[in-house]
Amino acid sequence: MPDMYDKETRSRVMSCIRSKDTKAEIAFRKALWRSGVRGYRVHCKMPGKPDVVFTRKKVIVFIDGDFWHGYLWKALGKIPPEGYWQKKIAGNMQRDDRQNEQYRNDGWTVIRFWEHEILSDVEYCVQKVKEQLNMTA
């Protein structure tokens, strides 16, 4: 399926898509702060660009965009056009799996949330992180 935009327009549209400080990431960090969770780093220069890193506890949090990381894309019928996009998303999913395995092998706890999970119930996601940090109240 051909692109409905010319190359310049597509480039401009794609450049507006944020790779960090997305709505889900900001909502999550604000919720962490409100609940008293401190001691994390953001924009930490680590493989896979984790969204939140608790270096002392070796807990790493990724917030994956539903489209970019392939949330049930086949089951929900949200299959992108064949070719570039399917290859890109499948590659993202494989990279996520490799990074999870590598971090776990290095002794880290990896937590991954989908964008829609954060946006629909951020408190539940914060609670999951607090459980991993042994901060349950």
CATH number of this structure's domain 20-132: 3.40.960.10
pLDDT of 5 reads: 65
CA distance 97 to 90: 11
Distance CA 54, CA 77 (A): 36
Contact assessment for residue 59 and residue 129, using Cβ atoms and an 8 Å cutoff = yes
Spans of all domains in the chain? 20-132
pTM, two decimal places: 0.81
User: Per residue of the chain (137 residues), what is the pLDDT tens digit?
Assistant: 456 667 677 566 555 566 678 899 999 999 999 999 999 999 888 998 999 999 999 999 999 988 777 787 766 676 776 777 788 888 989 999 999 999 999 999 999 999 999 999 999 999 999 999 987 54
Distances (CA, A) of 112 to 2, 4, 10, 67: 33, 33, 29, 15
